[in-house]
Amino acid sequence: MRAGEPAGPGPLTAEEIARYVVAAAVWAPSVHNTQPWRFTADGQQASLHADATRQLRVADPDGREMMISCGAALFTARLALRSLDLVPQADVLPDPGQPLLVARVSWPRRAACTDFERRLFGQVRQRRTHRGGFDPAPLPAGLLDTLREGAARYGAVLLIVADDGRRAALAAAVEQAERAQRLDGDRVRELARWAPAPGTARTDGVPPTSYPARAEHTDPDFPGRDFAHGRGWGLPPLSTASRFRAAGVAALLTTAGDRPVDWINAGQALQRILLTASTSGVAAALNTQPLEFGWLRESIRTGLGDGAYPQLVLRFGTVIQAAASVRRPPDDVLSASSSDDGDTGEG
Where does this chain bind ligand FMN (CB under 6 A)?
29-33, 65, 68-69, 72, 128-129, 131, 206, 210, 224-225, 286-289, 325
**Minimum CB distance to ligand FMN, residue 76 (Å):** 11
Least distance to ligand FMN, CB of residue 106, Å: 25
List the alpha helices (DSSP H) in the chain: 14-25, 64-83, 115-122, 143-152, 164-182, 185-193, 260-279, 294-303, 330-333
Could you give the CA distance from residue 24 to residue 35 in angstroms, rounded to a whole number? 13
Residue 187 phi/psi, 5-degree rounding, is: -70, -40
Nearest approach in angstroms of CB 288 to ligand FMN is 4
Of the pair 30, 55, the CB lying nearest ligand FMN is at 30
Q: How far is CA 284 from the centre of its chain?
A: 10
Query: Do the beta carbons of residue 210 and residue 126 sit within 8 Å?
Result: no
Quote the CA–CA distance of 113 and 47 in Å, as a whole number.
22
Rounded Cα distance, 243 and 119, in Å: 32
Strand partners, 335: 40
- Kindly tell me which of 17 and 323 has the beta carbon lying closer to ligand FMN: 323
Closest approach, Cβ 325 to ligand FMN, in A, equals: 4
CB of 32 to ligand FMN, least distance (A): 6
CA distance 81 to 65: 25
Judged by CB, which is closer to ligand FMN: 65, or 216? Answer: 65
Minimum CB–partner distance for residue 70 and ligand FMN (Å): 9
When the beta carbons of 106 and 127 are compared against ligand FMN, the nearer one is 127
User: At its nearest, how many Å lie between ligand FMN and the CB of residue 287?
Assistant: 5
Residue 104 neighbours by CB under 8 Å, 6+ apart = 45, 46, 47, 48, 90, 91, 94
Residue 144 or residue 275: which is nearer to ligand FMN going by CB? 275
Strand partners, 317: 283
> CA-to-CA distance for 123 and 76, rounded, in angstroms?
10
Which position's Cβ is nearest ligand FMN?
29
Is the CB of 41 or the CB of 284 nearer to ligand FMN?
284
Closer residue to ligand FMN (CB): 47 or 289: 289
Cβ proximity to ligand FMN, 84 vs 283, nearer residue: 283
Q: What is the Cα gyration radius of the chain?
A: 19
The distance of closest approach from Cβ of residue 129 to ligand FMN in the complex, given in angstroms and rounded to an integer, is: 4
Of 63, 61, 74, 59, residue with least CA distance to 29 = 74
